[in-house]
Structure formats: structure tokens, C-alpha cells
Chains A and B, each alone.
Chain A
Amino acid sequence: MKKIFLFIIIFLGSCATPIGGAKKVEDIKPQETPSIESIEAGLWMSMNNYEEKLKTSGSRLKDKDLEKYLKNILCNLTPEYCKDIRVYVQNMPYFNAFMAPNGMMVVWTGLLLRAQNEAQVAAVIGHEAGHYIKRHSLKSWLDAKSRTDLMAILSIGLAVGGIPSAGDIFNVTQLLQAGFMAKHSRDNEREADKIGLDFLIDAGYDPGEAPKVWENIIKEMELGEANKPLTFLASHPAPEERIENLKKQTEEYENIKNKKNMKEFKEKIQPHLKKWIKNEIRLKNKLEQTEFVLEKTFEDNENDYLLKFYKGEIYRLIGVKEEENNYDKAIDYYDESIKAKNDFPDVYRELGLLQLKIEKNEEAKKNLKKYLELAKNPKDAAIIKSYLN
């Protein structure tokens, strides 16, 4: 048996390509396009097809103003690659953004909902631009390919050696392969983090906002049901590790500025907030998790009435569940919202409709009338009036 392993190790050692043996890949230069016969051109072509579909896809958020705003952030971070990268917003209620090798950057609405200011969004955009500049997609592809070859040899080697339960061997090699690839990917992520941080600081943003993005994600994960990624097999560095690295790297810089641009960012996402929050509530994540997302969204206090209103909405939508009456909690939040701002029509409507449900008819009618008065001929007036009779 030892001889067989020795043979495999010698055989692998004699391979010209080392483990993880992708050839050295240079950074992409501004306005560079891959030569037509290259592997990279193939990757670009498939992503160009995907991008064409995304442009007209129903999942793309049709807000040119918001996409332009994000593109401006990108151009501010890296003027030399401004022409090469296109930014799209996709209607997906999860925290994510990704970069394709052809320069297509996609940001999900769940990320924008969770970002507290422009600096945090810039941290993500800068990070994704880092992936593009370092050609990480191409590197990952080449690396995956070389590992697939290597693992095929390893599997055959072990099988020929007569080791029983071939299925297990296959699983072991797959596990090893996944581990190698994840490590490679984690290295890419660290590299992109460093580039993103350089961009952030050069553009005058507060670099302290970059680790905050991950701190918030960790807290949200801890409150929810989502499993923490396993350190070995994760395709991204563990968020804790990422925060540590970003904080350590920030210490090395001088002349750090603290631009956050919270107000500008909030103005841009304001038109979509109601819909995004509704989609967030629809995910039916753990209550504490959804509340945490909302608290971060409305952290500026200026819109405390909205935070209270939406918290009320979460409890209203859960309703009566397992003998737990969430309607009372919803009403408490609606009341708090009214205390914070007494002329927001929607809260009177929801409060009134909920009071009708629990047969507090007099209070309900009072609040529904208040809604009609504040909303001034709303489209649903006829339905509201049908409840008043």
C-alpha cells in the first residue's frame, strides 16, 4: 500500500504544473480585451451573452438613475477602469454582488437595503472591481481546470491501487479539490479586499465602513437560521477573518478621510425602500434577523417613524401564530410610529384595518378616517369606506 502512495506522490511531484498550477495571469489593463483565440475570450463571450439577457431581464431593477449613481461611485474609485465596468442592479432580496470577467458587475437589491451609506457600497464596488483587475474569474477557471486534471489522476491512482470503496475515494478527492479551490478563492477575495480598500481610501471614503459591512452580516447571520460557512470549504474568507484583515490593513494607511455620504445614498434608494422591505419581510427569516436589517436601514433616526411602521408590519404579517398574538405588538409599533410622526397616512390605515380585525371597531374607524383625511383621495378610498359603513 505504501508503495502505491509513494508512486502517486512521485508521479504528482514529477508533474510540470505544481498543485494549483494555473499559469501566472497578469492584471488586465484599462480598455484591454482578450485576444480572440484565448480561453479568456471564451469566458467573455459567454458572459456577454448573459449580460445581453440581463439587460432586458425582468429581474433587473429598471432605475437608470440608481445604476448611474453606482457607476459614478465606481468611476470615482477607479477612473482608469471606469469605461470597462458596467454596473447593473438586480432585484434579489439577498446580500450579494458579483463581477464577471467581461466587466459586468451586478449588485443585488438585498445588498443595497443592508448598506448604511455610500462608503459601504463603495467598499463592495471597489472589492468587485479588484476581482476584475486581477482577472480572478480567469484564474479560478484555470485553477479549477488544473485541479480537475490532478484529482482525476489521484482518483485513478487510488483505484488502480486496489483500495476498496471507490465511492469514498471519489468523495475524498472531491473534498480535497473543493478545499484547494476554496483556498484559492479565499486568496482572491483577500486580494480584492486589499484593492477595494486602496480605492476606498484614495477616494476619501471612511475605510472603517468596509469591515462594518461584514460585521453587520455576521450579526444578521447569528440572529438567523443561515449556517456560518465552514472555514475550510467556504468560497469566501470567514467574515470574522475578513474584518480582522480589513482593520489591520487600514492601520497601515495615512491621511485617511471619513467621507460616508449617507444622505446621498439614502436619497437614491428611497424610491425602492418600501418594495425592498416588503420583499425582505416576505423572506420570512427569523423575526430578530428582519428587525436587525430594518434597524440598520433606518439607523439615522431621521426616519424613526418608518422603522416603527415597518416593525409593525412584520408583526402584522406574522399574525397570530402558535398562541402568540403578534397583533398587539404590531399595534404598539404603529402607535410608536404615530408618536414619532403624526401625519404619515399609511400607519393609520394599517392600524385601523388591524383594529377592525380584533374588533376594536370605534378606534379602527377613527384611524381609517384619519387615513382618508391625510392621504387625500387615495386610490383605495372606496374600499376603506366600505369598512367604515
Chain B
Amino acid sequence: MSVIKKIFIISFFLILISCQSDKTYILVEPGKVEINKIYSVNTNMKWSQFQEREYNFLFWTVDGYTLQRIVFFKPLEDGQSLFDYDSLFTKENEKRPTFNPKMNKFEIKEFFESCIIWSREFTSFETTDIKNYKIGEIEGVSFDIKAQNELGLNYKGFAVIGIKNNKLYSIYFIATEMEFYDRYKKEAEEIISSIKIL
């Protein structure tokens, strides 16, 4: 094979690679949406969906994940954690909170809170107002979230979480208290209340 041919083939592959679309974000259209064959939800508006294979969650956002997001976790099994990937700030992996299917409703809230604190995304994270809540046919709980990041930006949100067949299902919505929480709260509530476990 001549040198020119080799250069041509290499260039062709390089062009192909550079043209590959970024599949990290995909557009979610209004209507009924299936999420990884785990959840089914209804949305009235467009969202950008972020998904990375190494993460056990995906999220929807409109203006960017630091401003507002709805996070859908894959079901967790015994001994797993919400954040099973290793982040830069959380090196003590052996100390990561782990799920136990025998957890009661208060303990799953406690577990969720501990996982978020462990991830160190927020410097202050509190959950309040725990209530009985049905996610599809699962008897679970809902609770409110109040958080603050290192820069002092306040966040508000809510989560729903429950156990089915020894697996933990959890979804939460969080947005900046200023502007975005109020703007997306109603839509997030509608989406989360439409969730069905597939």
C-alpha cells in the first residue's frame, strides 16, 4: 500500500471519529418516555438527557445540571451505593454508604442523604418532611431537600424513594432556590408523579 493510500485511510478514519455525534446529551421530547427500560414517565416539555455508561444514574436538565435537574437512579441492590464510581474527592471508597434491602422508610431517607453528603457535591444537605409516597405500585417515601454548595448557592428540591424486590428505586429533583426551583417545580412534580416502574 502506497504512503498516499495509508495517509488517505488514516485521514478518513480521523474524519469519521471527529464527525461522531456527542451522545452524552440527547433530546427528550414531550410525551411518554421510557428510561433505560426501568422507568416510564410523562413530560410536557423538552429536556436534555445526560447519560454516561459508567454512572448508575442519568439526569434531565433544561438550563444545565447546576441550575436544575431531575435525577433517575438505576435500581440499587444489596451492598451497592448511589455513587459507585470513584470521584476525585471521595477516595475513602470502603467507607461509602451502602444499601441494605431491610432498611425501613426512615433508613432509606438516611441512606440517600448520606450518599449525597458522601459525594461532597453540596457542603450542606438536609432532608425534611418525610411522607408516605407511592412510586407506581411501590410503597415508598417522599421528602424535601435543602442544600447549599461551596459558593453558598442555595438549592431546593424533593426526592421519592422506595424498595421493590429488594432493590432501591430513587429519583430526585433539585434546582437553585433563586429562579429555577419555582420555575420547574410543577413540571418536576408532574413528571415524578407519573413515574411507573417497568
Q: Which residues of A come within 8 Å of B, CB atoms? A: 53, 55-60, 91, 279, 282-284, 319, 353, 356-357, 379-380, 382-383, 386-387
Contact = CB atoms under 8 A, between A and B. Distances in A.
B100 interface: yes
Contacts of B191: none
Given A57-B152, A58-B150, A319-B100, A282 B123 contact: no
Contacts of A284: 95
B100 A59 contact: no
B141 A383 contact: yes
A387 B139 CA distance: 12
B106 interface: yes
B104 A58 contact: no
B152 A353 contact: no
Contacts of B19: none
Interface string B119-143: 0001110000111100000010100
Interface of B: 95, 97, 100, 102, 104-107, 114, 117-118, 122-124, 129-132, 139, 141, 147-153
A91 B106 contact: no
Contact of A282 (B105, B118, B132, B148): B118
List the 3 shortest-distance A-B pairs measured between CB atoms, nearest first.
A58-B148, A56-B152, A58-B123
B106 A380 contact: yes
A356 B117 CA distance: 28
Given A91-B123, A282-B118, A383-B132, A57 B151 contact: yes
B130 A283 contact: no
A129 B152 CA distance: 27
Given A282-B114, A282-B117, A382-B131, A53 B151 contact: yes
B124 A91 contact: yes
Contacts of A353: 104, 106-107
Contacts of B129: 379
A56 B139 CA distance: 39
Contacts of A387: 104
A160 B47 CA distance: 63
A388 B139 CA distance: 15
B106 A58 contact: no
Given A53-B151, A55-B152, 15 more contacts: A53-B152, A57-B150, A58-B123, A58-B149, A58-B151, A58-B152, A59-B124, A282-B114, A353-B104, A379-B129, A380-B106, A382-B131, A383-B132, A386-B105, A386-B132
A58 B130 CA distance: 23
A357 B107 CA distance: 11
A370 to B, nearest CB: 17
B105 A383 contact: yes
Contacts of A356: 104
Judged by DSSP, the binding face of A is: helix
Given A57-B123, A57-B152, A58-B150, A357 B132 contact: no
A284 B114 CA distance: 11
A57 B97 CA distance: 25
Contacts of B95: 283-284
Nearest to A382: B132
Nearest to A281: B114
Contact of A383 (B106, B124, B148): B106
A358 B153 CA distance: 42
Contacts of B130: 379-380, 383
Query: Which of A91, A283, A380 has the most chain B CB atoms inside 10 A of its CB?
Result: A380
Contacts of B105: 383, 386
A307 B16 CA distance: 65
A234 B77 CA distance: 43
A112 B84 CA distance: 32
Contacts of A91: 123-124
B122 A58 contact: yes
Query: Which of A284, A353, A356 has the most chain B CB atoms inside 10 A of its CB?
Result: A284
Contacts of B102: 357
Nearest to A350: B106
A317 to B, nearest CB: 8
Contacts of B131: 382-383
Nearest to A319: B100
A253 B102 CA distance: 60
A382 B105 CA distance: 12
A322 to B, nearest CB: 13
B196 to A, nearest CB: 22
B95 to A, nearest CB: 4
A17 to B, nearest CB: 39
Contacts of A55: 152
Contacts of B150: 53, 57-59
Nearest to B126: A275
Nearest to A317: B110
B88 to A, nearest CB: 17
A241 B104 CA distance: 48
Contacts of A59: 123-124, 150
Nearest to B131: A382
6 contacts: A55-B152, A57-B151, A58-B123, A282-B97, A283-B95, A284-B95
Nearest to A357: B102
A57 B124 CA distance: 9
Contacts of B151: 53, 56-58
A91 B117 CA distance: 12
B96 to A, nearest CB: 9
A60 B147 CA distance: 13
